[in-house]
Structure 1
Amino acid sequence: MKKYVWDIAWSYNEKDFEANMIKLKNYSEIVWRDVVKSKPRNWCRAFYKQGNFCEDVENNSVESFNNSILKARNKAFVPMLETIRRLAMVRIARRSAESHDHNGRCTPYVSKFLAKEFEKASECQIRRSTNDSYEATLSGISHRVSLTERTCTCQKWKICGIPCEHAYGVIIDRKFEVEDYVCFWFRTPMWRRNYTEGLVPQRGPAYWPSTNFPNVHRLPSPPQPRRKKGKENKKDKKRKKRPNESPSKKTPKKLKRIMHCGMCGEAGHNSRFHSKKKSSKQTFELAQGTQGTQVEPSQGVMMSQR
């Protein structure tokens, strides 16, 4: 699917655009509908304004810029701008030295571009016509090329500013120099001119001109919400012992609970077993009394009544 979408974006003329749209529709009609909703005429090369000599259909330049200022974005506003200025200054100086060391008539980008076009250009069948126009046939598809107007019906030459494979084939057939037909924007003198004037180095902030406006200060930190007294935080309640905690902070041992009776108040039993404990105690005391002294009959009757 990715290849079909890229082929639509890379189409140089309307016929190729329509053919690639049909290929995508045959592959997946759902994807085709989504592409139609995105208005592909806004990002397809076939509908670019001619004369700008730019064929970019992606945001690589923006991604490259964001990657270069990655460290600067974490700084404050003024230091961020100063860091970006220094990066741009060094980049322009490096490009200026590179352009002045280059000896070719065109930029290295043109050399790489034409190297890819040479294989297809050598396979073109060229037929000459009048008014310095030619018919170039490649893979059964013919296009009209005009060296005087520097145009080709595939529109690639007019969009990118560098001869396409059809025009390159005509130039090879006529034994001309291909650099003579490259747009002046891609010539080495223009490349050097772009990087001749760079950014001027600046002095430190202490030497910057002052104004009558007040200085810009850092905003104070926002107030933090206060905790209400008497209410513990949920995190404090559920706080667990951390592994790095010192061993001196030991939790106190729990005291053993002693059971007391609710009726007599004595320890060792509760109200449920109060009657059993009382009867066993009386029996024990009676047995102790009979062993030591002699009990009178009247006293025995009174004890049995108790």
Structure 2
Amino acid sequence: MEELKKLNKDCYEWLKKIPPQHWSRSHFTGRAHSDVILNNLCETFNGKLNEGRDKPIITCLEFIREYLMKKIVNVEKAIGKCTGPLTPTAMQTLENIKKKAEDYRSVFCGNGKYQVSGPWMDQCAVDVVQQTCSCRKWELTGMPCKHVVATIWEMRKNSKDVGIPETWVHEVYWLKTWKQMYSFKIEPINGRSMWEKSVCPTTLVPPKHGVTIGRPKKKRRKSAYEIDDMVKGNSASRILQSVTCSKCNNIGHNARSCKGQKASAPSGSGKGKGKAG
């Protein structure tokens, strides 16, 4: 934080007001078993719904239901082709960790604790009983870090029945867990003509809707924080920038949407005119 304060004091003051457990990996609880601090997952899902966003409510919900119905089946087919104890992504991640762990050395300290050292003066303490590492990656992600993998290999050298590193991965990465997550199905339903009639005595009519100018919007509404970032980064859209009408010279609209407003008189008008002699 002190380095950030030297770099940008405004950013330091803004970030200091937010509890660190909401933005700093060093203060995450580890309950989610993920160190991702972005909302990429929901943004990806949100992007898949662009096609049905401009549809009426029922049609939009039907679009989402059909998308999820097909998505579950496609994922189930992909799971059927997988082998091994972990998901393909988790297996690849663990293999990369194993390659890094080859350069580390683990020393037993007693009481299930190990001191693990490697290149670039990287040294951490591993507790296999509490399943923690001082780098906190094992605790945050549920995936054994390079220090833990080196420790597991050291334990196996001493004829300890500890299994392979894959058995130390949290169950959220297991292939069995992935199968359970997609074990449910979205059942097909009949068409609208076969739906049961509602017993509600009130007839719901659509709200009054006027024809808007221009192409219908499909992008989601940006939050106030995103708009502030766009303005500070000089990337604001035309909607956020001031527009001057070429017909009436008023600010806030263009000539296409001009309704003939009278231009306000400029300040200081009439000054400097001489009197008729």
- TM class, shorter-chain normalised? 0.5 to 0.7
- 1:122–1:172 CA contact under 8 A, matched in 2: no
Distance 1:222 1:143, change over 3 A: closer
Distance 1:221 1:24, change over 3 A: closer
- 2:116–2:151 CA contact under 8 A, matched in 1: yes
CA distance in 1, matches of 2:62, 2:172: 31
Distance 1:150 1:101, change over 3 A: same
Is 1:218 matched up with 2:206? yes
Is 1:202 matched up with 2:183? no
Residue 182 of structure 1: which of 138, 151, 169 is its match? 169
Deviation at 1:73?
0.7
Larger Rg: 1
- Residue matched to 2:29: 49
- Residue matched to 2:87: 107
CA distance in 2, matches of 1:122, 1:24: 35
Deviations 1:269-294 (A, max 9, x none): xxxxxxxxxxxxxxxxxxxxxxxxxx
Is 1:173 matched up with 2:154? yes
Tell me which moved more, 100-109 or 140-149. Answer: 140-149
Deviations 1:197-227 (A, max 9, x none): 121111111122222113433334569xxxx
Deviation at 1:130?
1.6
Is 1:128 matched up with 2:108? yes
CA distance in 2, matches of 1:120, 1:80: 47
Deviations 1:112-163 (A, max 9, x none): 3223323432222211122232111233242221223322122211111110
Residue 12 of structure 2: which of 29, 32, 37 is its match? 32
Q: Quick one: which amino acid aligns to residue 143 of structure 1?
A: C
- Match of 1:143, SS? strand
CA distance in 2, matches of 1:167, 1:180: 12
Q: Quick one: which amino acid aligns to residue 140 of structure 2?
A: I
- Residue matched to 1:89: 69
Q: Quick one: which amino acid aligns to residue 27 of structure 2?
A: F
Percentage of pairs with the same residue = 23
Instruction: Determine which structure has the larger helix proportion and give its number.
Output: 1
CA distance in 1, matches of 2:111, 2:66: 53
- 1:143–1:153 CA contact under 8 A, matched in 2: yes
- Match of 2:110, SS? coil
Greater RCO, CA 8 A, separation 6+: 2
CA distance in 2, matches of 1:59, 1:30: 24
- 1:126–1:173 CA contact under 8 A, matched in 2: yes
CA distance in 2, matches of 1:70, 1:189: 32
CA distance in 2, matches of 1:192, 1:183: 15
CA distance in 2, matches of 1:221, 1:182: 54
Deviation at 1:164?
1.2
- Give 5+ residue unaligned stretches, structure 1: 1-20, 224-234, 236-306
Distance 1:217 1:165, change over 3 A: same
Deviation at 1:174?
3.4
Deviation at 1:62?
1.6
- 1:150–1:181 CA contact under 8 A, matched in 2: no
- Residue matched to 1:66: 46
- Residue matched to 1:252: none
Q: Quick one: which amino acid aligns to residue 196 of structure 1?
A: S
TM-score by structure 2 length? 0.67
CA distance in 2, matches of 1:29, 1:173: 47
Q: Quick one: which amino acid aligns to residue 168 of structure 1?
A: V
- 2:72–2:185 CA contact under 8 A, matched in 1: yes
TM-score by structure 1 length? 0.61
Is 1:192 matched up with 2:179? yes
CA distance in 2, matches of 1:151, 1:40: 21
Q: Quick one: which amino acid aligns to residue 201 of structure 1?
A: P
- 1:118–1:168 CA contact under 8 A, matched in 2: yes
